[in-house]
Amino acid sequence: MADIVLVQPKTEENDIPYAPTALICLAAVAEREFSVRIVDTRLDHDWKQTLLRELETGPLCVGITAMTGGQIHYGLEVARWVKRNAPDIPVVWGGIHPTYYPEQTLRSSYADYVVLNEGEMTLLALVRALKQGRRSLLREIPGIGFKENGLPVVNPREGGFLNLDEMPEPAWHLIDVPRYIEALGVSGQDRPLNINTSRGCPFRCKFCFELSYNDRTWRARRADLVIREVAKLHDMFGFNRLIIHDDLFAVHRQSMARAIEIAKGIHEIASDIRFTITHRVDQYDTQWLTTMRQHGLYQTRAGVESGSPRILKSIAKDITVDQILNSARVSRDLDFEVTYSFVIGWPGEDDADRQQTIDLAFRLLEINPRAWIFPLWIYIPYPGTPHFSEAVAQGFQEPQSLEDWAEYSWGRVQVPWITEVAKFENIHYLSRFALNSKTLRTVVTDLGDEYLKSVIKVRRLGGILLKDWARFRFKHAFWAFPYEYRVLRRLESAIERVVR
């Protein structure tokens, strides 16, 4: 029996089940006064029955976290289940999307309350009011939305942000950590776990919600607190790969010193722990990265967005193509992986800009064979960004309900200036194969690896079989007859359901 039930919805059908760090941070504060249960629909395939058992005990509320897009689709599935079986139990929506669309979210019959922005203290205050049954208290709680006579009422949030050093450690005891380690690992010998050590980003990219969500601020927990949490988790669960899921792990000299302190602390906990970070390519300091590499860094992730200098300038990314290329050379020389993400379909992007992005991706793979390229995402305007209002001015039809937002996806065309829909969706899909850094030799070796998961073997085999054809398309800009996406995606999904 729990007072609060927090639900992690899927983002897509075959979602990567990272540990739900946002929810365990919420729970850590809420547990000061209330009992909490976390239900993760990505891992719990019988989540409806799990949730039903919780609903039968009469919790004070069910909380659903949601980013714009797929999490709304699956979050609505959860909310409908709650309202069908326990219509009187309040459903509270939190996360990025309800923060930007509180009134619209509340107009859904599947939302009773919303929590804006960072929710730790706000949710606690809301649940106190629910427990007391005093609706008069709702207007006194900053940063929540509710319904009054059927109409949305939203209280502005107070200024400022939480001091992360004053927050309790995340409530790891509320989730089955070994299941996340097993689900994230590519083999039985790979034992990864994700954590967060900071929040926010100080940079000014016009397409990113961080501009307004965190007001371009970056806040971090002290190094000693991070090291203590990692040590406890390692003692309990014995992971050997740490995914540091911050927006940016370091943003200036002081934070780079903190990063080195954390890296050295992790290395002292266990010298076999490797870790990955998100880092900007314009901050590839060789000396700093050398020290990080010596203490376990094995991969960096970088959103570089485009290979076109004109597009990089238009989106205020504040990096150059030369800096992107330099990151590949530095990572090659220091022998660590680097993962890049690009986007196609930007406002004002033409065929030449897009081909510059594709050509740059191939150059990065040539410079550093250990580089990885994410699928080329298709641009979508994100709420709360300067680009969003510009997209509306250019004819983008803003969804008018929570339900309408449910089909929003980085892999699908959503904007009116992309008229060749099948072509772009095919480029997105085939980029997984064209930009695949695996060779036939390494894939054959992978197939004989008894520890590698079957689903990973299937993906890598499919990737190498399609690689040459996909590369021909990309290098020659041959986009006619864009049908692979429609056919192969269905086949791939069917195969993965069998081998999982």
Structural domains of the chain ordered from first start: 4-154 (3.40.50.2300), 176-415 (3.20.20.70), 420-500 (no CATH)
Predicted confidence at residue 409, as pLDDT, reads 80
How many C-beta atoms lie closer than 10 Å to residue 157's C-beta? 16
* CA atoms of 260 and 48, how far apart (whole Å): 44
Q: Which residue spans within 116-244 are E strands per DSSP? A: 144-148, 151-154, 192-195, 198-200, 218-220, 241-244
Predicted confidence at residue 480, as pLDDT, reads 86
- HSE, side-chain direction, 13 A CA sphere, residue 450: 0
Q: Are 42 and 10 in contact (CB under 8 A)?
A: yes
Q: Are 348 and 311 in contact (CB under 8 A)?
A: yes
Predicted confidence at residue 403, as pLDDT, reads 94
Q: Which pLDDT tens digits describe the chain residue by residue (500 residues)? A: 899 999 999 998 778 899 999 999 999 999 999 999 999 999 999 999 999 999 999 999 999 999 999 999 999 999 999 999 999 999 999 999 999 999 999 999 999 999 999 999 999 999 999 999 988 899 999 999 999 999 999 999 888 899 999 999 999 999 999 999 999 987 778 999 999 999 999 999 999 999 899 999 999 999 999 999 999 999 999 999 999 999 999 999 899 999 999 999 999 999 999 999 999 999 999 999 999 999 999 999 999 999 999 999 999 999 999 999 999 999 999 999 999 999 999 999 999 999 999 999 999 999 999 999 999 999 999 998 999 999 999 999 999 999 999 988 877 899 999 999 999 999 998 898 888 765 544 444 444 555 455 555 556 556 666 788 888 899 888 898 787 777 666 666 655 554 45
Non-local CB neighbours of 436 within 8 Å, separated by 6+ positions: 463, 464, 467, 470
Predicted confidence at residue 467, as pLDDT, reads 81
Give bridge partners of residue 113 from the DSSP assignment.
92
Predicted confidence at residue 184, as pLDDT, reads 92
* CA atoms of 123 and 202, how far apart (whole Å): 26
Is residue 469 within a helix (H) or strand (E), and if so which, with residue range?
helix 454-475
**How far are the Cα atoms of 206, 326, 482 from residue 247, in angstroms, in the given order?**
16, 21, 34
Q: Are 296 and 267 in contact (CB under 8 A)?
A: yes
β-pairing, 61-65 vs 4-8, is parallel
Closest by Cα among 427, 414, 441 to 485 = 427
Non-local CB neighbours of 308 within 8 Å, separated by 6+ positions: 349, 352, 353, 354, 356, 357
Closest by Cα among 88, 87, 127 to 4 = 127
List the end-to-end C-alpha distance of the chain, in Å, as a whole number.
Answer: 32
Give bridge partners of residue 219 from the DSSP assignment.
199
**pTM value surpassing 0.75:** yes
* CA atoms of 96 and 199, how far apart (whole Å): 13
Q: Are 59 and 89 in contact (CB under 8 A)?
A: yes
Torsion angle of C-alpha atoms 259, 264, 270, 273, degrees rounded to 10 = 40
DSSP class of residue 293 equals H
